[in-house]
Amino acid sequence: MASTFFSNPEPNQGFHWYNSTNTYFPVIYSNLKVLFEESSYARKIILNRPHKLNSLTYEMISQILRKLEVYEKDPTVEKDFTNGLNSLGKGKAFCAGGDVVGMVFTINKGHWSFGASFYKKQLTLDYMFATSRKPLVSLINGVVMGGGAGLSMSSMLRVVTENTVFAMPEAQIGLIPDVGASYFLSRLPGFFGEYLGLTGGRLNGNEMLACGLATHFVLSKDLPLLEKALSEVASWDASTISRVINGFSSKISLKKDSAFRRLETINKCFSRKTVEEILSMLENEAANGDNQWIIRAISSMKSASPTSLKIFLKSIREGRTKELNDCLSQDYTITCHMIRRSFNSDFFEGTKAKLLEKAKQPKDKIEVQEEVVLV
């Protein structure tokens, strides 16, 4: 069965929807944040909140969960497609993550337990994606961050394009790269996962395929034909579906300034035991040459929450030997502490500064001790 996330290309039209067969049909969707499409063998899940970069709300996650439970039990369904694709090319995002601003507003008006409930449901969805009995394909044609990464990286097959931009910038707002990041980032070559999680560094589709975050690279112009082909595959054999995608795949080439070409230096710096040692190594490397990517990495780490950096570093190191469900459980525990302000108020200050006021740094950043205990 295939689930596909789409960002709706015409958010203000509310009557016509463009599907993968290049035809229009009438459907009232203006208030629907998730759309579901069915064919003989496949099911599509279409994210429809483009004005918010398809950020996930509690209601959207709940809807997807209910549908996936039905699809899992449906014997006629062979595969699922999850697709953040905008078929008309006007959208910018697969999914930019969970609706953090909305969650913070709700917590401030009510109780931290709402944030915990939201997050628990999101992690449950991630785990369902990862453990689905039927092949799940994510077509990632745009920005994918945070919660969007949690969904797509949990998919068996992950298709990226020239429009894809991946990042896990949670430390900038006082959270940690979560939704299983300590699992899927820790499986990347060397210490590239530490680099991505600590700096929030961005990757394009080519880099995602090269490092292993993606399984296929397909040009965006070929996605409609790929969707049609996938919908017609009467099999839930992953290798069969992968071969279909291979028929549309394109070769990639990394840019000269790609961070993945700097893996040797990244391993040298990000293999250090502490955040302070990592920063010191980066500063030494920057002093030895004109390395703009290192300067950006240093700047990003210094503008992030020190608590978040330290917790994530410990989390990803432990994640290398843990199963996904253990990583997700730990993510839940850590995030609950953060939204309860058990450590500090970095999350609320960071959200206010970076997402609400667009300031450059949260005020009154709190330093923490080197030892951080995860419970």
- Annotated active-site positions, please? 98, 147, 170, 178
Q: Backbone phi, then psi, for 68, in 5-degree steps?
A: -65, -35
CA distance 23 to 77: 23
CA distance 126 to 154: 6
Q: For the purposes of burial, counting CB atoms within 10 Å of the CB of 303, is it exposed (0-12), middle (13-18) or buried (19 or more)?
A: middle
CA distance 165 to 49: 18
CA distance 33 to 56: 9
CA distance 329 to 98: 18
CA distance 23 to 171: 43
CA distance 218 to 246: 9
Q: Is the dihedral of CA 62, 69, 25, 53 positive or negative?
A: positive
Terminal C-alpha separation, the chain = 37
| Distance (Å) of CA 210 to CA 58, 143, 157, 216, 263 | 33, 18, 15, 10, 12
What contacts 284, CB < 8 A, 6 or more positions away?
Answer: none
CA nearest neighbour of 217 among 248, 258, 255: 248
Q: Is the dihedral of CA 253, 257, 262, 263 positive or negative?
A: negative
- Helix 306-319 × helix 275-287 angle, to 10°: 100
